[in-house]
Structure 1
Amino acid sequence: MQELKAPSTLAQLMPLERVREVAARHALNADQQGVLAAEVVEALTCAGFSRYFVPREQGGHPGTFVELSQRIVAVAKACPSAAWCAIIQAVVGRMAAYLPVAAQQQIWGDSQDVRICASFRSTGKVEAVAQGWRLTGTWHYLSGVDFADWALLCIEVDDGEQRFAAIPAGTWQVLDNWQTLGMRGTGSHSIILDAVVVPTHMTFARTDLMKGGSRHAQGPQYRASPIAADAQLFLACGLGAGWQCLEQWRDSLPSEAVGEVAMAYASAEAALETCGLLLHNSCQAIDQGELSPLQIGRCARDASFAAQLLLDAVNRIFRLSGAQAHFSSNLVQKSWRDVQTLTSHIALRPDFNFIGYTRHALANRP
């Protein structure tokens, strides 16, 4: 792990514009080296992303999804990989609020600025031991793992139940295997564990998270299903990347642009604005608290629909950008690659979200 300076006592007050400046300065290096610079990670922490959903019971001041989505879009315009890691810090911090109080105190007892990464599929070996489980093997694609203080791992226990288990940094080995088309700077490597024992009180049931019902934290932030909430934040990251792509292309266009180029610019801008409206509406609904299955499905549906609009717009921009966009240092190409990778995430896949929404919609016909 890279050495980072401890967050300042005014960590939550770092201006967002300052975070964007730092992220933009290191964006190309993050893409080329496959990891965020330590200065960027510190800026994200000092802007309060890791503490965004720390429960009040642990001294936190949890925020809204509307505000978080706006902040993510802003950072993603500078560096989508930095914005993605900011999402993970916030989202997995929210997940940690589902842990029992004793576990929460162990994680946040000394500071709310704790960086947590996660693996969402049970891929390693899990053995029952006295008052817990022993974990051995490989868990995949933990964004920001190089800078994480803790990790939440999906595990499948003996009876087939899936749980999330919290393990501290120093208990895993990073496997450098994140070589992707886009979102390279997220450093979403796999990890290897060798007989790491997790006590029962450091775990929680995955079903609690999916239903949106923490037993150990109070507030509407902990009654949101990730099927609705996480999809919006991933869309926010993609939307920021889309605006970055459009603005870079716009700066290369002549003021008298006509024909297909003019049509593409106008339609791309309208598509991104439409994505922003769908994003805002869904986040407003999520901030109200517990949603019905139909409302959860609608939020996921709108995220997938917006992601497709975004992907179509960016693909058209890339096609019309000419030979210059085929150089790896070109920001239009970088944004295009990031959007390809980001919109393929399962949380934004239309074949998953459209079918799920339609099932609920038909079941709720008048």
Structure 2
Amino acid sequence: MAVGVGGVADEAGAAKVVEAVRDLVPVLGERAEGAERAGKVPEESVRELADAGLFRLLQPTRFGGLAAHPAHHYTAIKAVARACGSTGWISSVIGVHNWQLALFPEQAQQDVWGADPGTRISSSYAPTGKVEAVDGGFLMSGRWAFSSGCEHADWAFLGGMTFGEDGAVDARTYLVPRTVYRIEPNWDTQGLRATGSHDIVIDEPVFVPEHRSLAYAHALALDCPGHAVNPEPVYKLPFGGLFTTTVTVPLLGVAEGAYQTYIDVTRERFRVSYGQKVVEDPFAHVRIARAASDVDAAWLQIERNVEEMYGHAVRGEELPLELRLRVRRDQVLGTERAVSSTDLMVENAGGNAMRHAHPLQRYWRDVHTGRGHVANDPERALTLFGRGALGLDVHDTMI
């Protein structure tokens, strides 16, 4: 696999990674049903994706990564999720964590990747645990939920807050090794069942040095310690835009998988009640057109927005607030379109589509489960855009 050298993103190498990932899609699809039954993406799938270079796409060149244009990452993820929603989901978030670690102080990056650049990180950002600021760092304990892919990772990003004497809130992401936490297997859901999004538990307070933390204020201002050692343009992008898109793209892949499954089944399906082949049903034709257009529109908007953000970063320009708000608007509506297009297919697929052996119902359950992620709350994201359009103040950590 080609790698970037000396802070220069390797776009040609990234394109090769995307092709290598696409080559894995058929076998990932064959494993999807078994992964769901096991409640875990197979180790061999994660290893093969790692060998293909997927997790290096957004990793700094200093650690053998490609520091590539994020469009490569999203293109690869969408292809994976077409075959298996759960594999696409955990691959997306694990991959973007390599991007986030590049924003941390250099010592934190060395702590994780110094001995093994292939080390992976999971996350749980909601500040549900207890954090206390102490000399040189923080004491942490408690429980964090929904850590997708945690069984495939050796470190975790955990969210937390501390409070100053004046009441000021310091919200941060903290980096902790698996040696100090345990995974409590409790992910039992309708969809995305193989993501293994279990709880992470720190039973007794553990010390986290300050260099293993990153303030949301720094990430929002695009002024992070990691910028001093990772100069590639991709690290000048906002967390709010990059991460939220990371949870929408696999759902678009799921919607594409549902669409193709519906097309394949409909070509052979016969509706006894009407004595008609469904392939000749004009109402099915309309649903196909609407579903295809919805997914295409969502993907085209994401491509445009990512390209514009990256262009500003390459030129060293400040990202306009209008663009950051548009990224969130189109991301959350992209998720909405993924859900609605999948619903269009399932509503017209007949009772057999709800059998456990039928892949269409798995796509349907996966896309609805992914919709529940906090980044996919449409009212919150759309309100931000509306306020910005009207010239009102906008303050949010997810832009």
2:346 is aligned with 1:318: yes
Q: Secondary structure at the match of 1:15?
A: helix
- Within 1, Cα distance between the matches of 2:381 and 2:50? 32
Report the AA paired with residue 262 of structure 2. W
The TM-score, its normalising length taken from structure 2, stands at 0.84
Gapped regions of structure 2 (runs ≥ 5): 1-12, 268-277, 394-399
Cα distance, 1:180 vs. partner? 1.5
Instruction: Report 1:3-152 matches (<5 A).
Output: 15-152=20-157
Cα distance, 1:18 vs. partner? 3.5
The TM-score, its normalising length taken from structure 1, stands at 0.91
Partner of 1:210: 220
2:373 is aligned with 1:345: yes
Q: Secondary structure at the match of 1:251?
A: helix
Cα distance, 1:329 vs. partner? 2.4
- Within 1, Cα distance between the matches of 2:372 and 2:200? 22
- Within 2, Cα distance between the matches of 1:128 and 1:210? 21
Distance 1:157 1:256, change over 3 A: closer
Partner of 2:259: 246
Partner of 1:3: none
1:297 to 320, 325, 337: 325
Q: Percent identity?
A: 26
Partner of 2:305: 282
Report the AA paired with residue 191 of structure 1. I
- Within 1, Cα distance between the matches of 2:123 and 2:215? 15
Cα distance, 1:107 vs. partner? 1.2
Partner of 2:206: 196
Cα distance, 1:59 vs. partner? 4.3
Cα distance, 1:99 vs. partner? 1.4
- Within 1, Cα distance between the matches of 2:332 and 2:107? 37
Distance 1:211 1:22, change over 3 A: farther
Cα distance, 1:49 vs. partner? 2.8
Distance 1:22 1:114, change over 3 A: farther
Partner of 2:335: 307
- Within 2, Cα distance between the matches of 1:24 and 1:53? 24
Distance 1:213 1:83, change over 3 A: farther
Cα distance, 1:174 vs. partner? 0.8
Aligned length: 356
Answer whether contact 1:155 1:163 (CA < 8 A) is retained. yes
Cα distance, 1:33 vs. partner? 2.0
Answer whether contact 2:93 2:246 (CA < 8 A) is retained. no
Answer whether contact 2:39 2:194 (CA < 8 A) is retained. yes
Cα distance, 1:60 vs. partner? 3.0
Gapped regions of structure 1 (runs ≥ 5): 1-9
Answer whether contact 1:213 1:222 (CA < 8 A) is retained. no
Q: Secondary structure at the match of 2:175?
A: strand
Q: Secondary structure at the match of 2:173?
A: strand
Report the AA paired with residue 309 of structure 2. I
- Within 1, Cα distance between the matches of 2:349 and 2:301? 28
1:178 to 187, 194, 204: 187
1:261 to 263, 284, 287: 284
Q: Which has the larger radius of gyration?
A: 2
Distance 1:242 1:135, change over 3 A: same
- Within 2, Cα distance between the matches of 1:210 and 1:184? 32
- Which whole-Å deviations, capped at 9, do the CAs of 1:70-125 have from their partners, x for residues lacking one? 11111111111111111111211111112111111121112321211111111111
Cα distance, 1:45 vs. partner? 1.6
- Which whole-Å deviations, capped at 9, do the CAs of 1:135-178 have from their partners, x for residues lacking one? 11111111110110211111212423111111112221111111
2:170 is aligned with 1:165: no
Cα distance, 1:306 vs. partner? 2.3
